[in-house]
Structure 1
Amino acid sequence: MRFAIALLTIISIASVIGTVILQNEDINSYINQFGPFWYRVFEVMGLYTVFSAWWFALMLAFLVLSTTLCVLRTSPKMLADIRQFKENIREQSLKAFPLRAQAVLAEGSEAAAQRIGQTLLASGWKVRLQSRETPTGKGWMVAAKAGAWNKLGYILTHSAIVVICAGALLDGRLMVQMQTLFLGKTVFEGGGLISEVPDEHRLSDWNPSFRGSILVTEGAVTGTAILPQPGGVLLQELPFRIELLDFIVEYHANGQPKLFASEILIHDLYTGEVIPKRVMVNHPAYHRGVTIFQASYDDGGSLVRLRGLAMGDGAAPFDISGRIGQSTTLTRGGETFTLEFTDFNLYNVENFTNTPGAMAAQAGGGGFNLGNEIQRRLGSAHRTVGEFDLRNVGPSVTYKLRDAAGQAREFHNFMLPVELDGQRVFVLGVRETQAEDFRYLRIPVDDQDQVDGFLRLRAALADPAMRSEAVRRYVAEAAAGQRPELQQALTMSAQRALDLFAGQDPEIANLPQRDMPVLAGLQAVSAFMEVNVPEAERERAGDVLLRILNGGLFELYQLSREQAGLAPAPRNERTAAFMTQSVLSLSDSFFYPAPLTFMMSDFEQVEASVFQVARAPGRNIVYFGCLLLTLGMIAMLYVRERRVWVWLAPKPDGDGVDATMAMSSNRKISDNDRDFVLLRQHLLLQPPKANA
């Protein structure tokens, strides 16, 4: 029994670990969360597949065996004890009970025994009478019991552990592992089309227990599920095919989904019958012992139309289209890239309370606020601070650009501009690996709510001739009527500021790089001042240089509009906000790791539904075990076993009988004293005090 308790404790701890650590996740997510060292340690321990690990199954098997032996050893004794009245107990033993009483009854021993027995029967006790010969005549023992089924609770609870563990083993990977060990099935570690996977990696539809996932695109028919395994997958054939007619998603006002549903047709492979079903979250469909759950949804190969935009050299935009999951080849400047269309999302719900402006407002505009911090951590039903501001920011596309060496970066671009900190911007995301979070570049919209104005300014900044013309126009306006030497000095400062910002100043190579791949933007201006301006004068000189830079960039923007045949931008707050954000975006754009970006212009969505399919014969076994456990706990906790004995012996002079009464219970509670007092009054016909 101690061994079983130890096993149950270890299994409970392992179950907690398996609940806290997400199971069967992508390897990169584990490495990102725990680091390479602990990832490997946890992998060796099997913590990423706790409930299907061999050691977990072995502990369950030992627990079943240990508990079964314990039940088999103790159950016969307990069942026999339930049936016994223990009427052979001696009078001297009764006098040793804590709850005992003695009295003299003015009636015959047999009559007293019959009266006491009937009284106990009327109160729900089971009674047995036994007559004994004594030196003074025939005596009678009245033995009664109530709640003897309390011992059945022990049998039921321990049997429940066996039943539940047996059901868990049956629903785990046991059946799949048996087929890999004895039927020659092996884990598939490669890639490609499901139809091309060899038979040794496929499980037959008679497999009694499995749990996998299946993705079905709208209009497609699929009948093969994927079972994740350590190091690869197995393919599970189903006794039917699933056809997805329509995937339905309903959304809340803020863009969050509130309903997932799939209209499907089930094509039975044995009867040819076609059965319509509707699968919803928490409302699965059932067919041939297989449960079909609505697990998630995915893209089914949507067609996206992208607009390729150059990030700096002013090349003409171009259009390209493709389906999610496909790729195409691009050639630019002698370099060849592979454009991989990886994902499309129609809705993107973001929490805008995490933006800097919202966080400052939430803290009362003064940083840390103790009251808000306390409220944010309280578990009230309605929080006064820290509430989510969820908004749908519209469609987005995710793609990868892979170079000739096979190195790829992932990009995540939104189709529509988003208002952040009072400025409408396009958001372009990039990350080096999937283990990283996306880093986003903000590009301000122009007066047409497009990205074109910024791209024209970016291309103009890369053109030396346009920079020189912008400097000339800036000096002509800012130093109109000033001395020639002042105009010359301003021209040199403005030209130096724009060339530094563009990363094309002749002295860039002599400035500190600080491990930056490109020295341009505000970083180049800062590096120049660090080398050429004394520390005591940098703040004042920086303000002057930034004003000159902003003026030159504004003239450069006007020049780019002029070359595009547009009217000059008005000098108002909207243009000022655009230029302020443009300076920051231009500075960041030099670190954008691709020569071009792709903005989505149109799309044709194709949806897919992800189902979890499971055949779980152990489910009903587990339910039955839970029923046994419930009944056993009720019997153990709420059924109190009590036994009463009354020995009736005739007095030597024949005048009445001596009565000795005792009571026992499996629990020491105050109710026992109260019950004993009542029994003493009703059985012995007087309330003598009990010796405690």
Structure 2
Amino acid sequence: MQRGTARDLFELLSSMRFAISLLTALGIASIIGTVVQQNEPFNAYLNQFGPFWFPVFETLGLYSVYSAPWFLVILAFLVLSTSLCIVRQTAPMLREMRSFRERAREVSLRQFAHRSEFSCSLHADDALARIEDYARANGFAARTDRRPDAVLVAARQGSLSRSGYFLAHGAIVLICVGGLLDGDLPLRAQLAFGAKSSTSAGQLIADIPESSRLPESNWSFRGNVFVPEGRSNRYAVLRLDDGILLQTLPFSIALEKFHIEHYDNGSPSRFASDLTITDVETGQSFSHTLEVNRPLFHHGIAIYQSGFEDGGSSLRLRAHSLLPGHPARQQDIAGAIGDVLPLSDKGYAHTLELTEFRAFTVEDVVPDPDQEARQGSVLTQVQRQLGSGAGAPADKAMRNLGPSFVFRLRDEAGQAREFHNYMMPVERDGAWVVLSGVRDSAAEEFAYLRLPLDEDGRLETWFSLHGLVFDPARHEQIASRFAERSLPGADEATRTRLTATARHVLDLFAERGYETVARFIETTVPSDERERALDLFLKILNGLVWEAWAIQHEQSGREAPILDEARARYLSNATTALSDSLLYGAPLYLQLLDFTQRQATVLQVTRSPGKAVVYAGFLLLILGIFAMLYIRERRLFVLLKNNGDVLVALSSNRRTVDVDEHFGRHVDALRLILDPAFAPDTPAMPR
């Protein structure tokens, strides 16, 4: 019973259907590995798939398909199955390749699709010699079988076509073995048995424990090396699930200079790294310029130009206070990308984390997406909050928006918001504004605060307006000036009532901008009167902001502004920005004044001992396919009877159109040499 079970198991594992099933499973897994980007940080997958599907896909190992246990098991079984197929078929295949089938009976030959008969007028020995000479001359190997009533010449040609079977199956074994060699199976085993453990990213190299470091002798790895200009690095970071490992390299890589060229719109067209490679053991070094798709090979390690990042650019910033009661307070800050700086003033104590800088910010520029909101009801308009800086995907116009930087502000409770501030203004609806993006997490899109520039191209005017409008101590002054300008000839009581109303509108606006105004109207005004009431509120609000602007001019010793179309547009944009600033979620705005850029190169380093094995496998696969498709096995049988009758039969491993032609030529040629009276213009056709 056990012997029968073992035999059945062997038959299953060595069957073609089982191997094809495994190949199909590997194909599906490869598709998944192509669609789902592999070995990314887990936070990226959580943001992409959401809290429900993220753990499901994690359990299935879809984030690192090619090192998932089930993938390696399928790969191992495919190697086993293909190897057993080869073992199972080797003996009969070799036997078939060496066999001439010279024992074939006449009745069997008459069953062939290609057969023909004619008479021979020569002596038997002479005819046999001519048949053997003909077979050898046409590339056949022949063997003779003498019988009492006849002689059979069995000839074969193209037996090497069967070698394609071994080559193709051997190629699959080599490719799979090469994949296993290049995989992280030994590393996974070390992690499983506790010899190594991953650690969290974001640490200094000196702080990474020894258990998370891999030696130079590690035979297979794929990682990234980050090198800023003027510095060197000999460690590669290997991402593994939700952690990292540090791979020590036998050489250090120093970045002397990073080169980058751009298209007209600012997109990078070419980038390259001037590197100095220094062997740790010998101290010898050499220089090399590394470019995309032109890898460098050293000590069996391939070095690829993967990308580039900021290498610690120095920034000079100016912090503008957005807190009420702190009009136009400014604070100059100097820092570099990667720095964590304390940032405190009256009313807040935050930590500033500078995370990213771009000298060229290439993004899509489209018309203001709030245009549709302006065409709706006035109530919808005032309820607008921070808007998107980008438009619909179908309306993209890539443009360089100039330098920008990304930072996080972390409060005392540890909660952080991420900001993306631009240095240069952009034009929106005929006005120039400076964009500042904000979001609570990386899973969200940036919402943008649009700060308008005044007629002199300065931001300071808006910050002065912000300090006046949101300073409670100034509300009475602004409201009184508005009442006097609106009702110059009215009595004191009327102006007092208008002052109180204007003061109330300003107080409402100072709470949460348009949102508070809209909520007040919805709760206190009948629905059929809301549009008219809102229109009145907005006129009062615009007048109040205009008065604040006039006060700002007086304080700076300038003449009072005169309302025109350009100033009316600025007034509208400034009021909207004042409302949006209350939803900005930060006590200050950071303006980029100047920067000194420092580039860093991102290199991918790989050690792939199985690469040569995989290449050899592909070479065998090509040879195997060539042998099976283009080497055609043919067997020619000539039965010479004692009575002078000749039976010619031909078999082929593939029945194609040219087989008929070849058989006809062989029959004509044999009949010509065996029957001198035969005329070649009347060929014998197969029957």
Question: Same fold, TM exceeding 0.5?
Answer: yes
* SS state at 2:49 partner: helix
* SS state at 1:667 partner: coil
Question: Per-residue deviation at 1:648?
Answer: 1.3
Question: Per-residue deviation at 1:310?
Answer: 0.9
Contact kept, 8 Å, 2:41 with 2:242, in 1: the verdict is: no
* SS state at 1:684 partner: helix
Write the mapping of 1:338-357 to structure 2, written as runs, cut at 5 A. 338-353=351-366, 356=369
Write the mapping of 1:24-39 to structure 2, written as runs, cut at 5 A. 24-39=39-54
Separation (CA, whole Å) in 2 of partners of 1:490 and 1:106: 134
| Pair 1:626 & 2:623 matched | no
Q: 1:548 aligns with which of 540, 549, 569?
A: 540
| Pair 1:458 & 2:466 matched | yes
Paired AA for residue 53 in structure 1? A
Q: 2:165 aligns with which of 136, 154, 164?
A: 154
Question: Per-residue deviation at 1:487?
Answer: 5.2
Q: 1:574 aligns with which of 561, 566, 578?
A: 566
Q: 2:507 aligns with which of 486, 499, 506?
A: 499
Contact kept, 8 Å, 1:155 with 1:632, in 2: the verdict is: yes
Q: 2:603 aligns with which of 574, 586, 611?
A: 611
Question: Per-residue deviation at 1:54?
Answer: 2.1
Tell me the equivalent position of 1:237: 248
Separation (CA, whole Å) in 2 of partners of 1:521 and 1:200: 54
CA gap 1:147/1:502 in 2 versus in 1, 3 angstroms: same
Q: 1:585 aligns with which of 577, 582, 592?
A: 577
Q: Higher mean Cα deviation, 155-164 or 408-417?
A: 408-417
Tell me the equivalent position of 2:381: none
Paired AA for residue 530 in structure 1? E
Tell me the equivalent position of 1:320: 333
Contact kept, 8 Å, 1:108 with 1:650, in 2: the verdict is: no
Paired AA for residue 168 in structure 1? G
* SS state at 2:46 partner: helix
CA gap 1:665/1:566 in 2 versus in 1, 3 angstroms: farther
Q: Higher mean Cα deviation, 404-413 or 156-165?
A: 404-413
Separation (CA, whole Å) in 2 of partners of 1:388 and 1:328: 37
Write the mapping of 1:185-204 to structure 2, written as runs, cut at 5 A. 185-189=196-200, 192-204=203-215
CA gap 1:592/1:143 in 2 versus in 1, 3 angstroms: same
Tell me the equivalent position of 1:678: 665
* SS state at 2:251 partner: strand
| Pair 1:430 & 2:438 matched | yes
Write the mapping of 1:13-52 to structure 2, written as runs, cut at 5 A. 13-52=28-67
* SS state at 1:614 partner: strand
| Pair 1:87 & 2:102 matched | yes
Deviations 1:125-163 (A, max 9, x none): 31314151434xxx3323233332221111111101100
| Pair 1:275 & 2:289 matched | no
Contact kept, 8 Å, 1:99 with 1:690, in 2: the verdict is: yes
Question: Per-residue deviation at 1:628?
Answer: 0.8
CA gap 1:662/1:492 in 2 versus in 1, 3 angstroms: same
Question: Per-residue deviation at 1:477?
Answer: 3.8
Write the mapping of 1:203-214 to structure 2, written as runs, cut at 5 A. 203-214=214-225
Tell me the equivalent position of 2:235: 224
Separation (CA, whole Å) in 2 of partners of 1:144 and 1:557: 106
Tell me the equivalent position of 2:148: 134
Contact kept, 8 Å, 1:395 with 1:414, in 2: the verdict is: yes
* SS state at 1:437 partner: coil
Contact kept, 8 Å, 2:237 with 2:244, in 1: the verdict is: yes
Write the mapping of 1:459-474 to structure 2, written as runs, cut at 5 A. 459-474=467-482
Write the mapping of 1:522-537 to structure 2, written as runs, cut at 5 A. 522-537=514-529
Deviations 1:584-630 (A, max 9, x none): 22221111111112111111122211111111111111111111111
Paired AA for residue 124 in structure 2? S
Separation (CA, whole Å) in 2 of partners of 1:570 and 1:285: 66
Separation (CA, whole Å) in 1 of partners of 2:41 and 2:367: 27
Tell me the equivalent position of 2:77: 62
Question: Per-residue deviation at 1:245?
Answer: 0.7
* SS state at 1:149 partner: helix
Contact kept, 8 Å, 1:348 with 1:393, in 2: the verdict is: yes
CA gap 1:115/1:358 in 2 versus in 1, 3 angstroms: farther
Contact kept, 8 Å, 1:222 with 1:241, in 2: the verdict is: yes
* SS state at 2:413 partner: coil
Q: Higher mean Cα deviation, 85-94 or 252-261?
A: 85-94
Q: 1:333 aligns with which of 340, 343, 346?
A: 346
Question: Per-residue deviation at 1:168?
Answer: 0.6
Q: RMSD of aligned C-alpha atoms?
A: 2.5
Write the mapping of 1:649-688 to structure 2, written as runs, cut at 5 A. 649-651=641-643, 657-685=644-672, 687-688=683-684
Separation (CA, whole Å) in 2 of partners of 1:358 and 1:639: 70
Contact kept, 8 Å, 1:127 with 1:142, in 2: the verdict is: no
* SS state at 2:558 partner: coil
Separation (CA, whole Å) in 1 of partners of 2:491 and 2:26: 87
Separation (CA, whole Å) in 2 of partners of 1:663 and 1:420: 83
Question: Per-residue deviation at 1:462?
Answer: 1.2
* SS state at 2:159 partner: coil
| Pair 1:449 & 2:457 matched | yes
**Structure 1: runs of 5 or more not aligned:** 361-384, 504-519, 652-656
| Pair 1:107 & 2:122 matched | yes
Q: 2:68 aligns with which of 36, 53, 65?
A: 53
Deviations 1:459-511 (A, max 9, x none): 111134544333344344444446777656654543333332222xxxxxxxx
Separation (CA, whole Å) in 1 of partners of 2:523 and 2:287: 75
* SS state at 2:211 partner: helix
Deviations 1:344-386 (A, max 9, x none): 11111001248539999xxxxxxxxxxxxxxxxxxxxxxxx95
Contact kept, 8 Å, 1:357 with 1:421, in 2: the verdict is: no
Separation (CA, whole Å) in 1 of partners of 2:195 and 2:523: 71
Question: Per-residue deviation at 1:176?
Answer: 2.5
CA gap 1:284/1:567 in 2 versus in 1, 3 angstroms: farther
Question: Per-residue deviation at 1:458?
Answer: 1.2
Q: 1:539 aligns with which of 531, 540, 560?
A: 531
Q: Higher mean Cα deviation, 400-409 or 678-687?
A: 678-687
Separation (CA, whole Å) in 2 of partners of 1:349 and 1:453: 28
Question: Per-residue deviation at 1:387?
Answer: 7.1
* SS state at 1:184 partner: coil
Paired AA for residue 546 in structure 1? L
Number of matched residues?
642
Paired AA for residue 338 in structure 1? T
Separation (CA, whole Å) in 1 of partners of 2:123 and 2:355: 97
Tell me the equivalent position of 2:555: 563
Deviations 1:200-258 (A, max 9, x none): 33222122211111111211121121222234222211111111111111111110011
CA gap 1:492/1:180 in 2 versus in 1, 3 angstroms: closer
Contact kept, 8 Å, 1:312 with 1:458, in 2: the verdict is: no
Tell me the equivalent position of 2:379: none
Separation (CA, whole Å) in 1 of partners of 2:158 and 2:437: 70
Q: 1:644 aligns with which of 624, 636, 650?
A: 636
Deviations 1:650-679 (A, max 9, x none): 31xxxxx21111121222333323332333
Paired AA for residue 581 in structure 1? N
Contact kept, 8 Å, 2:232 with 2:255, in 1: the verdict is: yes
Contact kept, 8 Å, 1:101 with 1:688, in 2: the verdict is: yes
Given the two structures, how large is their TM-score scaled by the length of structure 2? 0.88
Contact kept, 8 Å, 2:63 with 2:241, in 1: the verdict is: no
Question: Per-residue deviation at 1:181?
Answer: 6.0
